Amino acid sequence: MHGFFEQETQKEHVVLTMGDMTKPEPLLARIHSECLTGDGLFSLRCDCGAQLQAALHKIAQVGRGAVFYLRQEGRGIGLLNKIKAYHLQDAGADTVEANEALGFGADMRKYDLLKPMLEHFGVKQLRLMTNNPRKIQALREIGIDVVERLAHETGRNPHNQKYLDTKKGKLGHMFEGSQSESEE
């Protein structure tokens, strides 16, 4: 476990690593934004907790990799605003509409903070577990070569169907199928 402090936001971020990080081969990695409700409280409203668990499992199977755990709760709007967005979603808004109704963009997360983290480990190439094209683009903008995108679909259930449809339809997430937890 490695800790990093982001001066601009005063937030602490964590990187969980396994295996030899100095090898020149592309590193299996997951960039995961904090989700207290999904990661820690096992909410079925999202797929975050399932994605985190699946990434840790895949890294353990391979024996080398990293999870970059970024403190960007609620797509960057923070926990209390995320709770407000949940109330708007309960009234019928999707996740993008809820964020926008609160005066935020659909996704406020930033990924430039990954540059010093990756430099610390000497990582220049990733095999990235993600469905989010913004993460791939952001990594390329900071000089990281994403040599492979690994689809990372897990955790679909009846409670998060609209959420996942919104991620695909409004945020451009790349879903290849409709994988449920039992299909993992």
pLDDT tens digits, residue range 99-154? 999 999 999 999 999 999 999 999 999 999 998 898 999 999 999 999 999 987 88
Superfamily of domain 2-72+110-183: GTP cyclohydrolase II (3.40.50.10990)
Rounded CA separation 181/14 (Å): 26
pLDDT in tens, 64-95: 999 999 999 998 999 999 999 999 999 999 98
Radius of gyration, CA atoms only, the chain = 16
166 CB burial (10 A radius; 0-12, 13-18, 19+):
buried
Residue 134 assigned as binding residue: no
Say what the pLDDT of residue 136 is. 93
Percent of the chain scoring above 90 in pLDDT: 71
- For the chain, residues classed under CATH 3.40.50.10990 are 2-72+110-183
Say what the pLDDT of residue 154 is. 81
- Known active-site residue 109: yes
- Known active-site residue 112: no
Residue 97 assigned as binding residue: no
User: Is there a contact between 50 and 181 (Cβ–Cβ < 8 Å)?
Assistant: yes
Residue 153 assigned as binding residue: no
